[in-house]
Structure 1
Amino acid sequence: MKRYCLTLDLVNDDQLIESYRQYHQAVWPEIKESIKSAGVEELEIYLLGNRLFMIMDVNENFSFEAKSKADLANAKVQEWEELMWKFQQALPNSKPGEKWKIMEQIFELK
């Protein structure tokens, strides 16, 4: 199993951050299914201030390219992404429309 760690910022507004939290307490079933069907086995999101950190454990069938393609063809996922973009803001040096950025692992204690 492969692990990816990604980060993203939210708009630094307490009310928007609270709304974002609430949406993630009741993620739409279609969104959960699209994540699982892409090969994501486990996914966690953490919040500190307005910074998000996501840990994604994926199986051998997962690829970001295939997930992106499937998401573009899924109207419910597009609706969710459009809604979430109201709360999210791109990190510095992001390409236009780029959200979550893959982090580089620099240490591991075994």
Structure 2
Amino acid sequence: MDSCDYKSYAQALDLVNDKELIEEYKKYHKNVWKEVNEALCSIGIKKMKIFLLGTHLFMYYEARADFDPKIDFQKYTELTPKANEWDNLMRKFQQKISDIPENQLGEWWSPMDLVYDLDWFKQQQ
């Protein structure tokens, strides 16, 4: 697959507003379990990055063109007990974003709309 076979995604979620829990969350992500990374790759994720600002998480990832977050993230938790354990463990640190309309909420992570892409400009050149 070349770069044309992948799509970009962005999602947001909040962490519980507790400094100790946030530090613990960050420590877990410095040492993500091998089975979790393997499961993410096996569902078609090529790149994934999570950024933190205060209690706000922003996740950027690239996945194969036919990736469906609603279906494939469910598959991820079913691939290995460790991926499911990780997902459940992370939920103690996380909470849905509270200040967005209900119709924009995702199952857990909320999808974000793309409003700017430098490639749009490059394609006009």
TM-score by length of 1: 0.88
1:99 lines up with 2:108 in the alignment: yes
**TM-fit CA distance, 1:72:** 3.1
State whether structure 2 residue 19 is matched by structure 1 residue 14: yes
Tell me the matched-pair count. 108
Give 1:83 deviation, angstroms: 0.7
Structure 1 runs (4+) greater than 3 angstroms displaced: none
Distance across 2 between alignment mates of 1:15 and 1:29:
24
Task: Using the aligned pairs only, state the percent identity.
Answer: 39
Contact map agreement 2:43 2:75 (CA 8 A) in 1: no
Question: Does the 8 Å contact 1:38/1:61 carry over to 2?
Answer: no
The equivalent of 1:26 in structure 2 is 31
- Paired AA for residue 6 in structure 1: Q
Asked which structure has the greater RCO (Cα within 8 Å, sep 6+), the reply is: 1
1:90 aligns with 2:96: yes
Contact 2:13 2:110 in 1 (8 A): yes
**Which one has a larger percent helix, Structure 1 or Structure 2?**
2
Root-mean-square deviation over aligned CA pairs: 1.6
In the alignment, structure 1 segments of 5+ residues that lack a partner are none
Local SS of the residue matching 1:3: strand
Higher gyration radius (CA)? 2
| Aligned equivalents of 1:81, 1:89: Cα separation in 2 | 13
Identify the match of residue 38 of structure 1 among 34, 43, 52.
Answer: 43
SS across alignment from 1:35: helix
Contact 1:6 1:55 in 2 (8 A): yes
Q: Which segments of 5 or more consecutive residues in structure 2 lack a partner in the other structure? A: 1-5
Question: TM-score, normalization: structure 2?
Answer: 0.78
Tell me the residue number matched to 1:69: 75
